[in-house]
Amino acid sequence: MAGRWGRYVALAAALALLTTGCGAASPDSPPSGVDELTIPTPSPDPRDFVRRVDNPWLALVPGRTWRYRVSGTAVGTLEITVEDGTHEVAGVATTAVRRTEPTGDQVVDYYAQDRRGNVWWFGREGVWLAGEAGAEAGLAMPGSPRVGDGWRAAYGADVVDVRVTVETRDQPVTTPAGRYQHTVTVDVSSSLAPGTTTRSFYERGVGLVEELSTTGPVHLAELETPPR
């Protein structure tokens, strides 16, 4: 246990340093946002979306499962599974993804990909859905993430307000599932949970490989087995 927490503290410190210096390594994207997309989007057009989600960093193939080893305030296994079939949200056919926490608690999120390869987050079952009570779909992962890009991943007044920033595109990460050399690294925060920030690492062709809290409750989730 001491070794694991030593690794956590060292990694968190390295990430803090990386955040302050990453801008010098790669040019930031234009301040206008992500390719002039309206994020979040108040009125998604179903004609702009495709049935599959095959974004290289967030490919959601029905039946695919990722399993993570979790340590911190919760200890155990995190499992993320893409469900079969589609679920209509705001007129768009979305893909359902079930996340089972180490505590056994489950949430189901809905995603859809547009024709340009951007993946949008359309809601969370029982919490918020795009098009209902003013909630709007946000961007989960752009087709071509760039250092400096920032956007809202979800928005609903007093319910959800998730913000994402791309920090690096070449961060090496090692988990029990293997070593990944060029992950896209994003910071995730919420105005409704101040003082809590998560850093997530995505590998091309694999998806999420590690999730780490940089502020707030201690949380580390490492990919334990490759997705299958």
Give the pLDDT of residue 36: 66
How confident is the model over 42-53, as pLDDT tens digits? Answer: 889 999 999 999
Q: What is the pLDDT of residues 108-139, one digit of tens each?
A: 999 999 999 999 999 999 999 999 999 999 99
Q: What is the pTM of this model?
A: 0.85
Residues 211 and 221 sit within 8 Å (Cβ to Cβ) = yes
Residue 42: phi and psi, rounded to 5, are: -75, -20
The one-letter amino acid code at 147 reads V
Burial class (CB in 10 A: 0-12, 13-18, 19+), 143: middle
What residues are paired with 49 via a beta bridge?
114
Sequence letter at residue 48: D
SS3 state of residue 19: helix
The whole-number pLDDT of residue 2 equals 38
Cβ pair 191, 210 in contact under 8 A = no
